[in-house]
Amino acid sequence: MRAVEQAAIASGRVTGLELMERAGRAVADVITERRLGTSNDTNPTARALVICGPGNNGGDGFVVARLLHIRGWQVDVFLYGDPDTLPPDAKVNHDLWSVLGPVHPLASFPAFCEPLAPLPFDLLVDAAFGIGLTRPLPQEFRTVFTHLSSGELARSCVAIDIPSGLCADTGTVLRPAADPAGRWPAAEGLACKADLTVTFHTAKPGHLTGDGPRYCGTVIVKDIGL
């Protein structure tokens, strides 16, 4: 996938930023088409929680946040990591989102969510990690995904490219080592359990093998012109 993306960019046919915009738009279009937000008289404004990671998957998340906001959603965005160390395309989209709303540090998530009613969100958008995940998820993400899997956070979840915590090549959940006392962390929260995964150009092995089917939910492949 990286080789295909890099070849398209190197050919001058498309830029990484254009690919990111197309990817984000593809995700936002699926959310709109499938009416994943309940905009009705009792809940006039659908609410989305977008969790962004430190790479270009996070960049896709900032694009989705901006597009949902434009489409009338109330959007809350959290970021793991320092905005100034985001890759260039992701930083551009971080800055575009920042004109529309705040970017909360992920560490502030528990305090932010505590006073909210159960199920405060219609939708959680998982933009933490994509094909670049190399190690088990940091604790901050596991807190979010544990709340998600206990059903107290959001009505549904869309993962961008691959559910975070899952290796895109093997479909296995990246598990941290046992602690010195030999205790393993609880299984839920180690990866995002999505209802829907929107991926680009082609399905990855991790969508179809190992834990993939259990964590991806319905996989939708969108063309981004590669």
Instruction: Please choose which of K ion, ligand LP7C6HRI, none residue 183 contacts, taking the beta carbon within 5 to 8 angstroms, the exact cut-off set by kind.
Output: none
For residue 56, state whether it binds ligand LP7C6HRI (rule: CB under 6 A): yes
For residue 224, state whether it binds K ion (rule: CB under 5 A): no
Amino acid 13 reads R
Task: For Cα atoms 123, 83, 216, give the angle at the middle one, nearest 5 degrees.
Answer: 35
For residue 145, state whether it binds ligand LP7C6HRI (rule: CB under 6 A): no
For residue 62, state whether it binds ligand LP7C6HRI (rule: CB under 6 A): no
- C-beta atoms surrounding 72 within 10 Å: 11
Instruction: Please choose which of K ion, ligand LP7C6HRI, none residue 23 contacts, taking the beta carbon within 5 to 8 angstroms, the exact cut-off set by kind.
Output: ligand LP7C6HRI
Q: Smaller CB distance to ligand LP7C6HRI: residue 9 or 116?
A: 9
For residue 160, state whether it binds ligand LP7C6HRI (rule: CB under 6 A): yes
**In Å, what is the CA distance from 159 to each residue of 27, 42, 71, 100, 118?**
9, 27, 19, 22, 21
For residue 164, state whether it binds K ion (rule: CB under 5 A): yes
Q: Which residues pair with 220 in a beta bridge?
A: 198
Number of shown-chain residues binding ligand LP7C6HRI (CB under 6 A): 26
For residue 5, state whether it binds ligand LP7C6HRI (rule: CB under 6 A): yes
The radius of gyration of the chain's CA atoms, rounded to the nearest angstrom, is 17
CA distance 106 to 125: 14
Of 21, 122, 126, 211, the residue at the interface with K ion (CB under 5 A) is 126
CA distance 43 to 52: 25
CA distance 174 to 171: 9
Q: Phi/psi zone of residue 149: left (φ > 0), alpha (ψ -120 to 50 degrees), beta?
A: alpha
Q: Which stretch binds ligand LP7C6HRI (CB under 6 A): 93-101, 111-119, 133-141, 185-193?
A: 133-141
Helices (H), 88-199: 88-98, 109-113, 139-149
Q: Which stretch binds K ion (CB under 5 A): 40-48, 104-112, 123-131, 211-219?
A: 123-131
- Where do contacts with ligand LP7C6HRI occur on this chain (CB under 6 A)? 5, 16, 19-20, 23, 53-58, 60, 87, 129-138, 160-161, 200
